[in-house]
Chain A
Amino acid sequence: MIGGAWLELRSKVISLLWGAGGIALFVVFWWAISVAIGRERLPPPPEVIRQLYEIFIGSPMLASRGGVGTVVPHLVNSVAKYLVGVVVGVTLGIGLGLLMKCSATVHDIVIIPVEGIRTVPALAFTPFLLLWFGPTALAVVFLVIIYISLMLVISTVNAIDNVPRIYLEFAKTLGTTERQLFRSVVLPAILPELRGGIRVAISRSWGLVIVAELMGSPLGLGKALTVVTPYFAISTIIALIIVTTALANITDICFLVATRRISRWAPQYEEH
């Protein structure tokens, strides 16, 4: 009894130690290379950590060239754009997907332009958005909206197509009408798959936000990067990238936790 629980704990601790060992190796490796090729080319870990601290407190570098002193306003700005883009994009994408499955006419009309536009990488639209909206937050938000909705339209359609026919047929033999069928069988059945699709789409959106901001934006993490890049301040760049990664992870975890109930019943839900 106690023996079993102790064994489990022990194995968890052991894998944790192994993992920590790997990370430690990585840090040592990094440090070694930093020493080997010089701190201008690759700053050693402590310097990066220092920058990580500084950009939050107050960095003269960030303040230069008419920028803001700390990374916080940039951070908030990027998060705001991201969230707006995600919410609108997800709603639009799933909505259109559902509409397409509800009406064959809509499906047939819309499918070719949608599939056609989807073949193009999302970044190809960035110049258009910059042209039409200028280097503003709107361009970034629209980029995210376009990307996510295109991804999710197809995701939704596929998910609905993948609902095993047997569920629908069984439901019909139990007296379900077409309307009820959609709400009581199709929707619950597609939620886990949809959850996975949304997760992937929103995690990729962070990269789009950063690049769009890199290309022209008054504020945002991408903008912070453009301020710092001319100084060749690699440690600050890395620090900003770490901040971005942390944000991406936080939004991912928040999403997973918030939607945990959706996949409660799914027999095999993989985390990727």
Chain B
Amino acid sequence: MKSGVAWIHARVSLRGMRALKRSLGVLLFLLLWEVGAYLIKLKNPQFHSNIFPSIAYIFTESLTGIATFATVDLVRTQQSSVVLALIVLAQNSVVTLTRLLGGSFIGIGVGIMIGIGIGISKLFRRLFGPLLNVVRTVPLLALIPLFLVWFGGAEIGIYLYIIFGLAMFMLVYTANAVQNVQPIYIEFAKTLGASKGQVFRTVILPAIVPELAGGTRVCLGIAWGITLAGEYLAAQDGLGRILIWSQIYMFAGRMVIIVLLFMMYAILINTVVLRLKEYAAGWMP
């Protein structure tokens, strides 16, 4: 009986210890932030809040400060700064997320389709394989000026950029996945009487789903970068734009809020993709 209690104690302690250490990590981070903010305050008493605001400042002044991004009609309808700020954040979130998810959806879709085509067609592979290998090495973000010049800051430009970038990536990824389907499955299917088309539909497609899910996660990471770059340099709206303008006018607190939003959205999207993967590829050992 006594040993049982001791055992439980030890167990709870161990897990409790780890949880304690983890929360310690977060607290330590916040503490360091405050220390940093304080040091900056000493060094630059006038503008410290603009460069490195304290946490309290972020969630009060900075938050309401975002209301300055509200459009004129919106300002007329609302009195409270906080509400205005929240609405501004919501509207711009929608804009940024639509770009991100819409572009990703199309880009990944196109990439998968072409990738499958390349994966199963020997002719395609021989002809365009080396070419694609070369084009793939172009740093995606370096293409921004090109798209900027072609499309100005137009919405279509940003979308096409995301679509192009993701399609390129997903294309190669999918072609590889198709090539990597274990031959034994294909052989087995053939000996069971499956035609080429049936092998494609019932063996190759299901077999590549897990890999494609993984590729999609990476794509979304890339898409974030591209969307932000687009919004920094060209867009008229969106969270990225708020971020960059806040930087230009030196309002660091607002920038932190935007980044926190990014964090939230990224985690959300990641969780959804993981759930989808569980659903579609739950059969994976």
Q: Please determine if A and B sit in direct contact within the complex, based on CB atoms under 8 angstroms apart.
A: yes
User: Contact residues of A with B, CB < 8 Å?
Assistant: 15, 18-23, 25-26, 41, 104-105, 108-113, 116, 119-128, 130-132, 203-204, 206-208, 210-211, 214-215, 221, 225-226, 228-229, 232, 234, 237-238, 241, 244-245, 248-249, 252, 272
Subset of 10 A-B contacts with CB under 8 Å? A22-B130, A110-B25, A119-B266, A121-B266, A124-B258, A131-B250, A206-B142, A210-B139, A237-B145, A245-B137
Partner of B141, one of A26, A104, A108, A210: A210
- Residues of A contacting B258 with CB < 8 Å? 124
Partner of A210, one of B137, B142, B148: B142
Residue of B nearest to A41 (CB): B150
Given contacts A22-B127, A123-B225, A215-B232, contact A131 B51 (CB under 8 A): yes
Nearest-CB residue, chain A, relative to B28:
A109
Identify the stretch in B58-66, B108-116, B196-204, B240-248 within 8 Å (CB) of chain A at 4 or more residues.
B240-248
Known: A124-B243, A272-B176. A207 touches B266 (CB 8 A): no
Is residue B8 contacting chain A, with contact meaning CB distance below 8 A? no
The answer to whether A248 and B25 touch (CB under 8 A), given A121-B228, A122-B225, A130-B247, is no
Cα distance, A121 to B261, chains bound together (Å): 12
Kindly state whether residue B37 has any CB partner on chain A within 8 Å. no
Bound together, the chains give a CA A18 to CA B246 distance in angstroms of 52
Q: What is the number of contacts between chain A and chain B, taking CB atoms within 8 Å?
A: 154
A260–B54 CA distance with the chains assembled, in angstroms: 48
**In the complex the two chains form, what is the Cα distance from A229 to B143 in whole Å?**
12
CA distance A141 to B51 in the complex (A): 20
Q: Is the CB of A128 within 8 A of B255?
A: yes
By a CB distance below 8 angstroms, the chain B residues around A20 are 130
B229 within 8 A of A: yes
Chain A min CB distance to B68 (Å): 17
Query: Which residues does chain B contribute within 8 Å of A214, judged by CB atoms?
Result: 144-145, 233
Say yes or no: is B138 at the interface (Cβ < 8 Å to chain A): yes
> Cβ of A127: which chain B residues have Cβ within 8 Å of it?
232, 243-244, 246-247, 255
Quick one: given A119-B266, A120-B266, are A207 and B247 in contact (CB under 8 Å)? no
Q: How far is the CA of A145 from the CA of B145 in the complex (A)?
A: 24
> Are B229 and A211 in contact (CB-based, < 8 A)?
yes
B22 touches A108 (CB 8 A): yes
CB-CB under 8 A from A225, the residues of chain B are 142, 145
A41 to B250, CA, bound (A): 37
Chain B: which residue is nearest A147 at the CB level? B225
Q: Is the CB of B224 within 8 A of A121?
A: yes
Is there an interface contact between B129 and A19, defined as CB atoms closer than 8 Å? yes
- Given A109-B22, A237-B145, A244-B142, do A126 and B255 touch, yes or no (CB 8 Å)? no
Cβ B131 vs Cβ A26 within 8 A = yes
B101 contacts partner chain A, Cβ-Cβ < 8 Å: no
In the complex, what distance in Å separates the CA atom of A116 from the CA atom of B252? 19
| Bound Cα distance A234, B149 (Å) | 8
Is the pair A124, B259 in contact by a Cβ cutoff of 8 Å?
A: yes
| A245 B228 Cβ-Cβ under 8 A | no
Of chain A, the residue at the smallest CB distance from B173 is: A272
